[in-house]
Each structure stands twice: as C-alpha cells, then as structure tokens.
Amino acid sequence: MSNLLFVTSSLFGEHSKSRQVAGQFLEAWRRHHLGANVTIRDTNTVPHLDAVALGALMTPPETRDAKQQSAVAFSDRLIAEIEEADTIVIAAPMYNFTISSTLKAWFDHIARAGRTFRYTAAGSEGLLTAKKVFVVASRGGFYADGPAKPMDFQEPYLRAMLGFLGLTDVTFIHAEGQNVSPEAAASGLLTAGRKIAELLPAFREAA
C-alpha cells in the first residue's frame, strides 16, 4: 500500500491557496492509488524548538525526565510519518520571501543525526531516500523568473533542506501572482493546475 504524507503550512488553513492546489494534486494522485494511506500534518500544530526540546535530544534516553521524553516522543512521531511515506506533498506559501516559521520548525524536528541523516568521512549523508517529493509553492508575486528571482529564498531552502535529508527527487508546482491582481491569481492557479495535469502520467506509472 502506498503511503503519502501531506504537510501543510499556511496560516489560512482550508482557505490557503497552497492547500487548494495541493488538494487538486491529492485528488489526482488518489485516483491512481486506490486504498492508499494519506497522513496530514499541519505544521501550525508543530511547536518551535525550545531549550527543553533541544536539551532532550542531547540527553541520553535513559536519563531523560518525563518532560524531555514527551518532547522527544513528539519529534519521533514526526520522523516516523516521513519515514513511512513513499510520497511527500508539501504545501508551502511564501512568507517574506521564504517558508513559514512553522514549516521551518517541522524541519528542525525531523532533521536528526543518526536517524534522518548521518555524518561520514565524506560528509553528511541523507537517510530519507527512495521517496518522491512534490512541493506546492504559492507566492504573492512572481519569483520563478524575472527581477524578483534573487529574492526567492523559498525554493532554494526547501531543495537544500530536503536534499540534506536524502530527498532529491523533488518536483515544484508554483502558484504565483496570488497578491498581484485577481487575474494574475487566477492565472497562477491555472498554471499550477496544468503542471499537475502534466504529472498525471507519472502517477499512473507509479501506481
């Protein structure tokens, strides 16, 4: 059975443009993966790392107190979700040229030495391999090309962080121009929908 992890990170919940496009993706993907298991992780429920959580991760398991054990158990659950997934879909709106702080917090929880990556004599090695990742990246303006491209810290960060964890098979679906005008927003959503349609043959092959 296929397992898909859907990570959503917008402050606007069901009204989110990135979630709307990701919903189209999930609908198309499910048609070719009947009976698949879909896990939804809303990063708005993911706490930012604090001294307790970081200290817990640096403390040997046998000496952790109850509060530390609880903090590590939450991170373990997030890691288990991504380890069990064959396909990962991330709905990522652009906030101030980059990702939301809660999506960053999610990465902070799942990036763990010895579990999702390791250090070797040749450098770091990602351990989350053989998984497909699709990122729905919504933007208020236009950053894929043009004069604002240097301000795009959203896609480069996500590619770098995912790659660090071993996730190198990454496809981006952009929904741009969402705050430019109603016409630009509609065009951006249409472009994203066309990209999803282009991916349908790959869904069939993987089913």
Residue extents of the structural domains in the chain: 3-206
Residue 30 makes CB contacts below 8 A (sequence gap 6+) with 36, 38
pLDDT in tens, 2-44: 899 999 999 988 889 999 999 999 999 998 888 889 999 999 9
Token pair 């496809």 in the structure block, residue: 171
pLDDT in tens, 156-202: 999 999 999 999 999 999 999 999 999 999 999 999 999 999 997 77
pTM over 0.85: yes
| Packed helices 101-110 and 66-84: angle between N→C axes, nearest 10 degrees | 90
Could you say which of 3.40.600.10, 3.40.50.360, 3.40.50.1220, 3.60.20.10 is the CATH number of the domain covering 3-206?
Answer: 3.40.50.360
Distances (CA, A) of 101 to 52, 66, 114: 19, 27, 24
